[in-house]
Structure 1
Amino acid sequence: MPDSIIKDKTQVNTDIISMKYSYEQKKIIININNILLEMYGKQGWWPVTSKPGNAPVYFPGREGRRISDKKAFEIITGAVLTQNTSWSNVEKAIINLGKENMLDIRKISKSGSELEELIRPSGYYNQKAQRLRAISKEIICIGNIKSLRTYPTAKLRTLLLSWKGIGKETADSILCYAFNRPVFVVDTYTKRLFKSLELPFENYDEIQGIVHQSIQPSSSEYGDLHARIVKVSVLKQTEKFLQILKSRL
């Protein structure tokens, strides 16, 4: 379903409730969102596979729509695998898992050393395999992905953060893209961009707070803004973007 009809608009991060930002700062955030949309259009994040063994693909125009429980678990898997590596390496691991029909929560929970070998391209494969097994077992213990969907956003975030190896960026990626929750993901690219604009850039909660207070709650809006910030950074077009932005302030 479109995220516009998701009822849970709970403040996800209680640390940002009392934070105050100026009108000028909020205007910059709105302009960032609008200009990046003009430059790149919708990005269709998070990429998922269309068939087992295929590479994950993007679906522009379908941002914020509910996905199947199986695809939600694939996103959770990808969010863990992408830690400290490039997405191209994650794709290789996802393809390997798909070819062996291992993108399955129960199979991963019971997996042996074959899991390490399949995700080897993502790096830190021993550590990531342990985390994926543990996360899979945690979800099964709770019930399933469907059970997690019933959790209010703040409660689900707290649960995700309690899992070993899941920090704020990974937890919020899972919330936004796997569970369609209105949560903005803060990464290194965002911090660099905000620093160049003299916006809050050091504290995760401050960065998330200014976005949440500037743009209406929406998993599609927050998720796509994050995707476009990654895009402008990866393409090394930040200077071009900043020139456009400054001309509108």
Structure 2
Amino acid sequence: MTKPKTPGEDIGGAVLFDVDGTLMDTVYLHTVAWWEALRQQGAHVTMARIHRCIGMGSDHLLDSLLGEEHDRGGDDALSAAHDTLYAQYWSRLAPLPGASDLLRACAARGWRVVLASSAKQQEAEVMIDALDAGDAIDAVTTSSDVSSSKPAPDLVQRALDKAGVPVGRAVFVGDAAWDGEAARAAGVRCLGLLTGGWTRKELAEAGMEAVYDSPADLLNHLDDSALAFPPGRA
């Protein structure tokens, strides 16, 4: 559940959160699920390569792993296999330390909080339930809301639409280079977290203006970050 919108509410700004690897400790679960799904179809791709593609939607991920010239006729079956394998972890999905408190702290400071996930709708709902912070979440975007996933800017732009704020009043928080690239393409400021397995240098090069160890680390430094207060409310 997400919190209801208040008609006529004055929105100072919005913070847009990626979910997998940013709020939820799921990056390596996705890596294993894709590894097994590909293996079942006879494609042997190393986990190291797969990990570097987590954060993309399945459309870009499979092109990156199998080559843009691969037969896309099997993509739906591969994606379905990944979803089935990953669903085995649903009951054990866990938020990263400080994730739920970070969402609530942003909401308490006047930010509109929007989750910008590349996950499918049902998977996103499972993660939101695990976060147990629906009282702080204003809106959610999923892969079903856009035609092209990260690193394309579509998901960030859709999250902006749902937040109801202009580009200059939003900040995106993510854990992968693809998040930084998508935010930069949409013209949105971006903060990075190291919880997705990328290095501080890589995230900075992808356009993230500051990088924190984890949601808990960002929460501890909130007063000195781009999320201290929404525009006009400092």
TM-score with structure 1 setting the length: 0.29
TM-score with structure 2 setting the length: 0.30
**Larger strand percent:** 2
Bigger CA radius of gyration: 1
**Larger helix percent:** 1
